[in-house]
């Protein structure tokens, strides 16, 4: 799509997106200021909310201090007042992008919103300025419609590095009858999918103790049989985790996830750290395994943690060294899964809007582990789905020239506006 073929509405959408991209060069606060200005201009009541991510009393979620954002953050909330007797809607997206670096690798200006061959490029455009723009534009259309509507809210909330923006607002009392998480799709599908299932996930490390041989020699190879190699003992634990993963795959069920990848839960060890690369003749005192486990909606963090702890303890009980020197588990991050059924009015309303705008019925992508759609459901019992345009080369994946598909972004705006108008107008889709 060339700019010469854009309508005035399309031009306004692109102009807003370019303003947000340009503001990224100045930082997150500048992005929030632009969003707040636009919300005030369309008639919203706008407020800012400062909070400490570490003080948010989240349910079904945790993050170790090293993984959590230590700085105070600010959310912007724009509310379009409506009839309290009609359905309300919360839309949210995150304005915070990755720290700006590596722009010398870009072939397009990271902060101007260049368009080439149907793609619009910009720092953070896919993660998640397109979502912020779509929400603002949907509110503008609701405001212009002038018809009776329920309350509509857009929360521009920090999310990266466990910033917990939407959770902070929900625990502060923000509420709605339904919610939309607006974020371009990282799956390569774009507006042909709806995020309605989010698995939970736990990340952990396990420290296993060993014993170097009793020698003053700098090299341990000749004495290695007199020590206990922590790598050997770590592999005992690794094998126990793999057995647990296979056992769980056979008994933990979720049809949608299984249809995609053949199992509803998975566990892997993704890191083993021991020793130094240039000291091959040494036996170290400890070895650290790092891993993660995904689990479907319906399981709790405590249930999954208990299974891992039991598997590690059983492996240690069967080893003469480990029973005396038990492995130490550190839980780094954890989130609980959640889902919206395909017969829920919110899902049906969104599905109808996607089909009307794109001409094709969407499908549920259940593979968005830890997706932020979980937050309204887990923290406040508010049904939530996610959707977004086709995008790629995200900076968070250490890529460059981050982009969104322009036509799909414009469809995202149309779908978001349709969902908001239908839901807040009280004409939601329901199964006969």
Instruction: Give the Å distances, CA to CA, from 183 to 39, 112, 349.
Output: 19, 20, 18
* Spatial distance between the Cα atoms of 349 and 118, rounded to a whole number of angstroms: 28
DSSP β-ladder status, 152-156 and 89-93 = parallel
Which helix (H) or strand (E) covers residue 240, if one does? helix 230-251
DSSP structure string for 339-370: E--TTSHHHHHHHHHHHHHHSS--EE----TT
Sheet holding 61-63, edge to edge: 61-63, 328-335, 200-209, 286-295, 266-273
* Both structure tokens of 31: 């992005």
pLDDT of residue 331: 97
Q: Is the peptide bond before 128 cis (omega within 30 degrees of 0)?
A: yes
Q: Residue 153: which of 137, 172, 164, 139 has the closest Cα?
A: 139
- The encoded tokens of residue 251 equal 């008994």
For 319, residues 6+ apart whose C-beta sits below 8 A from its C-beta are 233, 236
Positive or negative: CA dihedral 138, 182, 52, 151: positive
Please give the pLDDT value at position 432: 45
Bridge partners of residue 154, in order along the sequence: 78, 91
List, in order of start, the domains of the chain with CATH numbers.
3-198+339-424 (3.40.630.10), 200-335 (3.30.70.360)
Residue 11 near residue 56 (C-beta atoms within 8 A)? no
Question: What's the pLDDT score for residue 170?
Answer: 96
C-alpha 294, offset from chain centre: 14
Residues with Cβ within 8 Å of 337's Cβ and at least 6 positions away in sequence, in order, are 197, 198, 199, 200, 295, 296, 297, 298, 299, 374
Give the DSSP H/E element, type plus range, for residue 116: strand 115-116
Which DSSP string corresponds to 153-215? EEEE---TTTT-HHHHHHHTT---SEEEEE--BTTS-GGGEEB-EE-EEEEEEEEEE-B--S-
Q: Find, among 354, 254, 336, 245, the residue nearest to 299 by Cα.
A: 336
Which residues does the chain have with pLDDT short of 70? 1-6, 65-69, 429-432
Q: Where are the beta strands (DSSP E) in 251-379?
A: 266-273, 286-295, 328-335, 338-339, 363-364
Q: CB burial class (10 A; 0-12, 13-18, 19+) of residue 64?
A: middle
């Amino acid at each position: 799509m060339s700019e010469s073929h854009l309508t005035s509405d399309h031009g306004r959408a692109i102009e807003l997106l370019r303003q947000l991209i340009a503001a990224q060069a100045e930082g997150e606060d500048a992005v929030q200021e632009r969003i707040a200005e636009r919300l005030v201009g369309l008639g919203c009541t706008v407020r800012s909310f400062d909070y400490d991510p570490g003080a948010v009393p989240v349910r079904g979620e945790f993050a170790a201090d090293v993984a959590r954002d230590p700085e105070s953050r600010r959310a912007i909330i724009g509310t379009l007042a409506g009839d309290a007797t009609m359905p309300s809607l919360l839309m949210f997206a995150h304005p915070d992008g990755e720290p700006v670096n590596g722009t010398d690798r870009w072939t397009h200006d990271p902060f101007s919103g260049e368009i080439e061959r149907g793609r619009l490029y910009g720092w953070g455009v896919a993660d998640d300025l397109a979502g912020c723009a779509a929400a603002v534009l949907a509110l503008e259309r609701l405001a212009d419609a002038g018809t009776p509507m329920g309350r509509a809210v857009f929360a521009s909330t920090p999310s990266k590095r466990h910033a917990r923006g939407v959770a902070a607002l929900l625990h502060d009392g923000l509420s709605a009858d339904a919610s939309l998480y607006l974020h371009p799709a990282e799956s390569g599908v774009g507006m042909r999918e709806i995020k309605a299932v989010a698995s939970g996930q736990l990340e952990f490390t396990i420290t296993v103790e060993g014993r170097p041989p009793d020698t003053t020699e700098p090299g341990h190879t000749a004495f290695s049989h007199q020590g206990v190699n922590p790598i050997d003992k770590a592999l005992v634990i690794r094998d126990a985790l793999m057995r647990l993963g296979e056992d769980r795959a056979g008994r933990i069920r979720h049809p949608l996830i299984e249809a995609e990848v053949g199992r509803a839960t998975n566990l892997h060890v993704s890191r083993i750290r021991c020793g130094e690369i240039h000291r091959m003749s040494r036996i170290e005192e400890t070895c650290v395994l790092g891993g993660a486990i995904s689990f479907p909606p319906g399981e709790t963090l405590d249930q999954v943690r208990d299974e891992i702890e039991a598997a590690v303890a059983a492996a240690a009980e069967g080893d003469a060294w480990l029973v005396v020197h038990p492995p130490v588990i550190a839980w780094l991050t954890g989130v609980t899964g959640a889902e919206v059924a395909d017969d829920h009015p919110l899902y049906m309303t969104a599905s109808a809007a996607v089909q009307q705008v794109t001409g094709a019925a969407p499908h549920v992508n259940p593979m968005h582990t830890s997706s932020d759609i979980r937050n309204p459901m887990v923290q406040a019992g508010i049904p939530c789905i996610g959707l977004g345009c086709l995008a790629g080369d995200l900076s968070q994946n250490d890529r460059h020239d981050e982009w969104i598909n322009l036509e799909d972004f414009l469809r995202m705006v149309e779908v978001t506006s349709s969902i908001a108008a239908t839901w807040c107008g009280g004409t939601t889709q329901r199964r006969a």
